[in-house]
Amino acid sequence: MAVMNPNNATLPKVFILLGFSDHPWLETPLFVMVLFAYIFTLVGNISIIVVSRVDPRLNSPMYFFLSNLSFLDLCFTTTTIPQLLLNLWGPDKSISYGGCVTQFYMFHFLGATECILLAVMSLDRYIAICKPLRYPAIMHQRLCVLLVVTAWLSGLGNSLLQSSFTVLLPLCGNNQVESFLCEVPVMIEMSCVDTTFNVAMLSIVGTFYSLVPLSLILVSYGFIVTTILRIRSSEGKKKAFNTCGSHVIVVSLFFGPAIIMYVQPSDTNSHDKNKIMSLFYSLVTPMLNPFIYTLRNKDMKGAIKRLLVSVCYWGREQA
Residue 313, in any domain of the structure? no
Residue 236, in any domain of the structure? yes
Residue 3, in any domain of the structure? no
Q: What is the pTM (predicted TM-score) of this model?
A: 0.83
pLDDT at 151: 95
Query: Does residue 9 surpass a pLDDT of 60?
Result: no
Residue 284, in any domain of the structure? yes
Residue 9, Cβ neighbours under 10 Å: how many? 17
d(CA 128, CA 138): 10
Residue 122, in any domain of the structure? yes
Helices and strands in the chain, H and E counts? 11, 5
pLDDT at 71: 93
pLDDT in tens, 97-133: 888 889 889 988 998 999 899 899 989 988 988 888 8
Residue 52, in any domain of the structure? yes
pLDDT in tens, 60-88: 888 899 899 999 999 989 988 898 888 88
Structural domain total, the chain? 1
Element spanning 96, H or E: strand 94-96
Task: Give 305: exposed, middle or buried? Use CB within 10 Å, 0-12, 13-18, 19+.
Answer: exposed
- CA–chain centroid gap for 309, Å, is 31
Residue 66, in any domain of the structure? yes
Residue 24, Cβ neighbours under 10 Å: how many? 9
Domain of residue 126, residue span: 10-299
pLDDT in tens, 270-304: 666 677 777 777 888 888 887 777 766 677 777 77
pLDDT in tens, 159-214: 998 888 888 888 777 788 888 888 888 888 888 888 888 888 888 887 888 888 88
pLDDT in tens, 245-279: 777 777 777 777 777 766 654 544 566 667 777 77
Residue 319, in any domain of the structure? no
Give percent of the chain with pLDDT exceeding 70.
85
* CATH number of the domain that residue 141 is part of: 1.20.1070.10
Mean pLDDT of the chain: 81
